[in-house]
A and B are shown apart, each in its own frame.
Chain A
Amino acid sequence: MRRFEYHEPATLEEASRLMGTLGQGAFLLAGGTDLFVEIRERLRSVAHLVNIKRVPGLDRVEWSDRDGLRFGALVTAGQLEASADVAARYPNLHAAMRALASIQVRNRATVIGNICRASPSADSIPPLVADGASIETFRPEGGRSIPLAEFFTGPGRSVLEPGEIAVAITVPPPAPGSRRAYLKHGRRKAMELATVGVAVSLDTADGICTGARIALGAVGPVVLRAPQAEAILTGSRLDAATIEAAARQAMQECTPISNVRSSADYRREMVGVLTRRAVTQAMEQAA
């Protein structure tokens, strides 16, 4: 570890002000499970940590039929994993939470921290993008709500401004007949960073797919949607041939890179396999 100054603001106003006055070496601390690693491995030079854990009201998971799911900046992955509402209504998000790091890490890691770090392989992002989530922020001059799909600008980068703090995620309630799944590809069954992650969120009525959203993780600079693959599914009966065609299309809609975890070609191939399997699994789950 390296030394840093530590701050524990009591309010978002104070946190935001601190971040503004302390400048570039200041980082916001929520869960810390990524940040401490980056400090220890000298990937980030941190002069100040601003811990928002004492800020009240950020640790709740709420569900309502009308507004859907809302959870605050201090909600941990473990909390979402344990939420019966999430398990029942957002099985893709639930699966992503169970696949994220370890139980111990999930008890500290915040979901919004996982999102704000803006890693293309972050498990929490694909299901939330597929489910049409938005992120609410705090700014001294007034917060805003940003669709998650528009939040990321590149690996590790987002539209958050200096002093702006992400405070909550909202996810619309699933329509009746909604089908969801998240599949993660890794070499091991746990403690993995996704080689590829695929989330699907399908709306169905009378056996017809009325809407489809596919989000692809770890195969581009940000989590990507696959609009043309979605279009293939939409209006279909989700028969095997259509699913296969959509999976092949999704392979064309990603832009993977090669690194130590996998080659770009393999990632692209896995987008096809995982998309097909995720759609199939989503439909089987419902039946």
Chain B
Amino acid sequence: MTKTLLELTVNGEDRSLAIEPYRSLLDVLREEAGLTGTKKGCDVGDCGACTVIVDGQPVNACLMLAVEAQGASVQTVEGLQPGPDELHPLQDAFMEHGASQCGFCTPGILIMAKHLLDQNPLPTDEEIRFGLSGNICRCTGYTKIFDAIRTAGRRMAAAKSQSVEA
């Protein structure tokens, strides 16, 4: 089967990948782009472990063909860190609160939480719960995840208002 040249931006970096058109974005990210942080928990859109942001929208990378990301901008968990020695406030808060246990759902939940906080830095508990309703975590009972997102949101909002004042 002939391969297609896929050109896209992943975590800010331009990538050209020769891919078969029947491959999912998830498989291509993991196997062709070398980004194995995004996980395959079900491959049918039910668990959210493969959540990535495509052109500003969180999607299940398993429910999208890689060819459909032609020209798109994709963000994965590997692109969360603002700098090489710096963590995103969510990453810090997840560590602090014990929001990651086995960690398999963590990349998808971090991406979903980032999207949520980017839209709404101080979400209510209901909004956090609703925002994560497509991400399954089987280890934590979610409690620590909610705590971590609230903490990160508060810190991000505080940092933002400080930078506005400055």
Residues of A within 8 A of B65 (CB): 6, 32, 36, 51
Which residues of B117-166 are within 8 A (CB) of A?
130-131, 133-135
A104 and B43 CA atoms in complex are apart in Å by: 13
Which of the segments B17-25, B73-81, B89-97 contacts the partner chain? B17-25
B68 contacts partner chain A, Cβ-Cβ < 8 Å = yes
Q: Judge whether B45 and A104 touch: CB under 8 Å.
A: yes
Which residues of B17-62 are within 8 A (CB) of A?
20-24, 27, 43-46, 48, 51, 57-60, 62
Q: Judge whether B44 and A37 touch: CB under 8 Å.
A: yes
A245 contacts partner chain B, Cβ-Cβ < 8 Å = no
Residues of A within 8 A of B135 (CB): 102
Chain B nearest CB from A113 CB (Å) reads 12
B67 contacts partner chain A, Cβ-Cβ < 8 Å = yes
Chain A nearest CB from B101 CB (Å) reads 21
Q: Judge whether B133 and A189 touch: CB under 8 Å.
A: yes
Q: Which residue of A lies closest to B116 (CB)?
A: A103
Overall SS of chain A's interface: loop
Residues of A within 8 A of B130 (CB): 190
A89 contacts partner chain B, Cβ-Cβ < 8 Å = no
A35 and B67 CA atoms in complex are apart in Å by: 16
How many residues of chain B get a CB closer than 8 Å to chain A's CBs? Answer: 30
Q: Judge whether A33 and B57 touch: CB under 8 Å.
A: no
A105 and B58 CA atoms in complex are apart in Å by: 9
| Binary flags per residue of A29-73, CB closer than 8 Å to B gives 1, else 0 | 000110011001100000001010100000000000000000000
Q: Judge whether B68 and A53 touch: CB under 8 Å.
A: yes
A214 and B67 CA atoms in complex are apart in Å by: 41
Q: Judge whether B134 and A3 touch: CB under 8 Å.
A: no
Chain B nearest CB from A54 CB (Å) reads 9
Residues of B within 8 A of A105 (CB): 45, 60, 63, 134
What number of A-B contacts does a CB cutoff of 8 Å give?
82
A190 and B135 CA atoms in complex are apart in Å by: 10
User: CB within 8 A of A103: which of B22, B24, B68, B112?
Assistant: B112
Chain A nearest CB from B69 CB (Å) reads 11
Q: Judge whether B57 and A78 touch: CB under 8 Å.
A: yes
Interface size bucket, A side?
A: 20 to 34
Q: Which residue of A lies closest to B56 (CB)?
A: A107
Chain B nearest CB from A92 CB (Å) reads 19
Q: Judge whether A102 and B134 touch: CB under 8 Å.
A: yes
Q: Judge whether B134 and A36 touch: CB under 8 Å.
A: no
A161 and B45 CA atoms in complex are apart in Å by: 29
Residues of B within 8 A of A33 (CB): 45, 60, 63
A257 and B59 CA atoms in complex are apart in Å by: 33
Given contacts A1-B24, A78-B57, contact A103 B64 (CB under 8 A): no
A10 contacts partner chain B, Cβ-Cβ < 8 Å = no
Residues of B within 8 A of A107 (CB): 57-59
Q: Which residue of B lies closest to A105 (CB)?
A: B45
Interface centre among B57, B67, B131 (most CB of A within 10 A): B57
B1 contacts partner chain A, Cβ-Cβ < 8 Å = yes
Q: Judge whether A102 and B22 touch: CB under 8 Å.
A: no
Residues of A within 8 A of B24 (CB): 1, 36
A101 contacts partner chain B, Cβ-Cβ < 8 Å = yes
Q: Judge whether B64 and A101 touch: CB under 8 Å.
A: no
Q: Judge whether A51 and B134 touch: CB under 8 Å.
A: no
A104 and B59 CA atoms in complex are apart in Å by: 4
Q: Which residue of A lies closest to B50 (CB)?
A: A104
Residues of A within 8 A of B27 (CB): 1
Give residues in B with beta carbon < 8 Å to A.
Answer: 1, 4, 20-24, 27, 43-46, 48, 51, 57-60, 62-65, 67-68, 112, 130-131, 133-135
Q: List 14 A-B contacts (CB under 8 A).
A: A3-B1, A3-B22, A6-B65, A6-B67, A36-B24, A37-B44, A40-B44, A78-B57, A101-B134, A103-B133, A103-B134, A108-B59, A108-B60, A189-B133
Beyond the given pairs A4-B22, A104-B45, 4 more chain A to chain B contacts, judged by CB atoms under 8 angstroms and listed by A's residue number, are A104-B60, A104-B112, A105-B60, A107-B59
* List of 7 A-B pairs having minimum Cβ-Cβ separation, nearest first: A102-B134, A190-B133, A6-B21, A37-B44, A107-B57, A104-B60, A104-B134
